[in-house]
Amino acid sequence: MDEEEFRKFLKRGGRSPSAVKRAIAYVTRFEQYLREQRGREGLDEARPEDLEAFVSWVEKEQNEGAKLYLWAIRYYYEYTSNKEMSDRARGLRSQRIEQAPFTLKEFRGVNPEHVKKLANNGIRNVKQMLEAGRTSDRRKELSAKTGVPIEAILELVKLSDLARIQGVKSIRARLYYGAGVDTIEKLAKWDAKKLRAMLIMFVEKTGFEGIAPLPKEAEFTVAEAKKLPRIVEY
Domain end among 95, 130, 160:
95
- 83 lies in some domain: yes
Kindly state whether residues 87 and 155 are assigned to the same domain.
Answer: no
- 233 lies in some domain: no
Domain end among 42, 60, 95:
95
- 234 lies in some domain: no
- 232 lies in some domain: no
Residue 46's pLDDT is what?
93
Kindly state whether residues 201 and 124 are assigned to the same domain.
Answer: yes
HEC readout, the chain: CCHHHHHHHHHHCCCCHHHHHHHHHHHHHHHHHHHHHCCCCCHHHCCHHHHHHHHHHHHHHCCCCCHHHHHHHHHHHHHCCCHHHHHHHHHHHHHCCCCCCCEHHHCCCCCHHHHHHHHHCCCCEHHHHHHHHCCHHHHHHHHHHHCCCHHHHHHHHHHHHHCCCCCCCHHHHHHHHHCCCCCHHHHHCCCHHHHHHHHHHHHHHHCCCCCCCCHHHHHHHHHHHHHCCCCCCC
Kindly state whether residues 18 and 43 are assigned to the same domain.
Answer: yes
**Looking at residue 16, which CATH number applies to its domain?**
1.10.150
Kindly state whether residues 149 and 118 are assigned to the same domain.
Answer: yes
- 27 lies in some domain: yes
Work out the mean pLDDT of the chain and round it to a whole number: 92
Kindly state whether residues 136 and 213 are assigned to the same domain.
Answer: yes
- 128 lies in some domain: yes
What pTM did the predictor assign? 0.62
Q: What band does 86 get if pLDDT is binned at 50, 70 and 90?
A: very high
The pLDDT tens digits for 148-166 are 999 999 999 999 999 999 8
Q: What band does 91 get if pLDDT is binned at 50, 70 and 90?
A: confident
What residues make up the domain containing 91?
3-95
Domain end among 50, 72, 95:
95
The pLDDT tens digits for 97-149 are 666 788 999 999 999 999 999 999 999 999 999 999 999 999 999 999 999 99
Does 14 score more than 90 pLDDT?
no
- 69 lies in some domain: yes
